[in-house]
Amino acid sequence: MSGNRPTYSFDAAIVRRPAKSVVKGLRADDGGDPTYDGVLAEQDAYIVALKAAGVDVHILPPLEAFPDAIFVEDPALVFTQGAILLRPGAQSRAGEVGEISPALKEKFQTVLDLPAPGFAEGGDILNTPQGVMIGLSSRTDLNGAKALQSCLSRLGLTSRIVETPEGVLHFKTDCSLLDDETILATKRLARSDVFYDFETVIVPEGEEAAANALRVNDVVMVGAQFPGTIELLNKLGYDVVPLETSQIGKIDAGLSCMSLRWKTGA
C-alpha cells in the first residue's frame, strides 16, 4: 500500500481470455467440465464489472497449451511498487509464468522472480493494510513462502506466513478483504485465528465458496449463486455486485483468480 490508500484501491488490471482448453482445467473434485461459452460469458461480465468500478483492463490473448491460464493471479503478484513472477505449485501451470512476464515487464519498472526451489501461487496471497498474508497450501510451500517474503521486502512490503485449512486449495478460497478492518471468511478459516487483528464476517453455512469475494474500489463482487452472503453484505452496508461464477467454480476458481489488479502511480 502507498500512503493511506486502501489495499483494494485499483485503477489497472490484467486479464487473459480463456482458451478452448479451459474446459479441462484443474479441479480437486470432478463436478463436470465447464463450458467454454459459459466461462467466456462469466469473464465478459467480470470485465464489465471491473471497468464499471473504475479499472482500466488490459486483456491478454488465450493460451491453448495452458487450460488454467485465464486465472492470471496464480503465476504472478502485482503491487504499485512492482510485480513478482511466482512459481506455481501445479506443474502444468509452470509455463504460464514465462507467458505473462512480457506483459508485466511492459507495465512495471520492477519485476522480481521468485527463486527456486520453493513454490508459491497468488491464490494463497492476501494483501491487507497490516501486511501481506502468505497461506501455506498444497500449492505454496514453506520454501516458496520464505522466498516470497524476501521479494516482498525488496518492494518495501511486510508479510507473515499463515496456515491454510487442510483440504482447501488456496488461502483465498476461504477469505477476502472487505475493507481495511474487515475480512470475509469461512468458519473453518476464521476459527484458526489468523485474522486476530481484523473484524471477521462469516459466510453462511453451505456458501463457503462465497468467501472468495473481490473488493474493488467502492464495490464488493460476490458470486451470484450465494444469496445468503449477498444479503448479509448488503445489510452490512456494502455495495455488492453479484457475478456468476458457476462455470469457473467447476475448475476450483473464484473471482480473485481472474485478474491481476493494482493502483498505478507512486
175 has catalytic annotation: no
113 forms beta bridges with 85
Amino acid at 164: T
135 forms beta bridges with 162
Distance CA 51, CA 48 (A): 5
Q: Give whole-number Cα distances, 9 to 135, 140, 177, 179, in Å.
A: 22, 26, 12, 10
Residue 23 DSSP code: G
Q: What are phi and psi of 55, to 5 degrees?
A: -110, 135
**Candidate list 58, 151, 170, 175, residue with the active-site label:** 170
Other Cβ atoms less than 10 A from the Cβ of 97: the count is: 18
Distance CA 239, CA 93 (A): 34
Contact 98, 127 (CB under 8 A): no
Distance CA 209, CA 168 (A): 11
151 has catalytic annotation: no
* Residues marked as catalytic: 170, 257
